[in-house]
Amino acid sequence: MDSEQFAETTIWLSGFFLPYFLFIAGNSFRSRILTFMRAVIAIGAGWCLYLAYTIAARAIRLSVAPPTDLLALYDRDGAPSAFAAELGWVPAAFVVLLAWLVHSLFIPKLRRVGSNV
């Protein structure tokens, strides 16, 4: 894996991990309002990371492209950027929803089972 692809993959994967850690870190899940606010912040951060991913990926592709391909790269319609702007929040929302379900439904049951032993 070359360094350009590694950089793109790192930013892309951080779009999954950062919302999870922002949502889970220090969250006791006792207050629904605070948990909801943490979810909104985590989804917003994930959305910003996906926007950053599309910008960085385009800049990396432009920097490594041969001069003959630059015109084709500049003439693209911008669909990846539009997709990230419109739907970049969906992966982060899925991660946060999954974390919320796991930590509110399954973790309390595991704690109760562990205390009975």
How many domains does the structure of the chain reveal? Answer: 1
- Predicted structure pTM score: 0.79
Using DSSP's 3-state secondary structure scheme, residue 1 falls into coil
Compute the distance between CA of residue 3 and CA of residue 57 in angstroms, rounded to an integer: 12
- Percent of the chain scored above 70 by pLDDT? 92
Q: Which domain holds residue 100?
A: 3-116
The per-residue pLDDT for range 74-101, each reduced to its tens digit, is 777 677 788 888 988 999 999 999 999 9
